[in-house]
Amino acid sequence: MSAAGRTGVLGNSFRLAMTIVGTTIGAGFASGREIWEFFTVYGAGSGQGILLFAGLYALCCWVILRISWQTKPASYSELLFRLMSPQMARVYDGLIMFYLFSLSAVMFAASGAVFADVRLPFHLGVMAIAVLVFSVLIFQIRGLLSLNSWLIPLLVLMLAAIAFFYLMGGEPGDSQGREQTEQLEQRFEARFQPYYGVWASSVVYTSFNLVPMIGVLCMAARESRHPRELAIGSLLSGLFLGGLAWLLNGALLNMPVDVAAEREILLFELAGHFPFRVEKLVFLSLWLAIYTTALSSIFSLATRLKVIVIWPHSLILAMLVIGIIPFSYFGFATLVKILYPIFGMASLFFVGCLLLSWIRGDDSLPNHHGFSGR
């Protein structure tokens, strides 16, 4: 391969990785709440959980990309029919469409909540994300890939900088840090055996985050020119997500347990150790995380609906954005509390089918279920 060819592969791989990272880093990840609940609460064993999540997530993304690159599905629903029985595929197809719609409503509500936190109108945050989502997705997958190639590195750098300066606020391994780690371990020692609890949590966290990726990965694979881009992009996404989660987890391990229990958005607490006031930086980091997740979720849903109704992409997109807005007014906390546990457990079956297909090596087999795409 020529130097120009290698440069092209690396560039495309980086854009793909940033799209995966951008879809994964939603409001929960960026706020620190997901990292705390899924990893930090396990104390010293949390690092193993993050490593497992990063590796498993990269592997699952690569399997989806490889199948999609070989079979060129019109939407993620065709991928489902290759991985499971027709009956289960139809159930999961409907479940994923409902999940993507619900997740989009959660992100719209989160945008309004972040605006409200800085004393701006809630509806302004909802309308801002609605307009910007439509403006980018009108260009379909290329608009999503192009935006993420520069937007996500900025987001990752901002989050990493906030966590880094929090860690630098005290001596590494000082008595306060050890005390907080001991509190966490004592708090959960009776409930979980060492290591196994965080391993299970990592698998659930992987499955929960993988579902919004399906539609984006299917379409992104069609834009790839070489299978090497898929492998490199998946590997880079795991490295970026694992590294950022590791850094945030390290900062959260040094946070007092009572503070973490009281504050919903832990990123504000981490930002308190920044060398200068960064309220606007925290606001921007959270909102970008919300925005990129909304982009990917609505794109996946629009791609699926286009196969069903055969309407113009712009019309489907407009109808979706308009339809999501009213549901966002149920509130961010309410939507998360009701929907996230349900979809997290339901996603485990899909991950199991995906890994089983990879183990058997039958991911390139043709579709024998006669699926028409509707």
Cβ neighbours of 196 (radius 10 Å): 11
**Cα maximum dimension of the chain:** 63
C-alpha gyration radius of the chain: 20
**Tens-place pLDDT, residues 344-362:** 677 888 888 888 888 887 5
365 has pLDDT over 50: no
**Tens-place pLDDT, residues 315-350:** 999 999 999 999 888 765 555 666 666 776 778 888
C-alpha span between 142 and 152 (Å, rounded): 15
Residues in the chain: 374
C-alpha span between 202 and 195 (Å, rounded): 11
372 has pLDDT over 50: no
Cβ neighbours of 263 (radius 10 Å): 15
> Which DSSP symbol is given to 84?
S
C-alpha span between 79 and 217 (Å, rounded): 11
C-alpha span between 178 and 284 (Å, rounded): 32
On whether the CB atoms of residues 43 and 188 are closer than 8 A, the answer is: yes
**Tens-place pLDDT, residues 20-69:** 898 888 777 888 888 988 898 888 788 889 999 999 999 999 999 999 99
Cα dihedral 130→136→142→145 (10° resolution): -70
263 has pLDDT over 80: no
> Which DSSP symbol is given to 72?
-
C-alpha span between 124 and 109 (Å, rounded): 11
Task: From 222, 246, 233, select the one nearest 156 (Cα to Cα).
Answer: 246
C-alpha span between 163 and 54 (Å, rounded): 19
pLDDT band at residue 370 using 50, 70 and 90 as cut-offs: very low
Helix (H, G, I), strand (E, B) or coil at 314: helix
- The mean pLDDT of the chain is 80
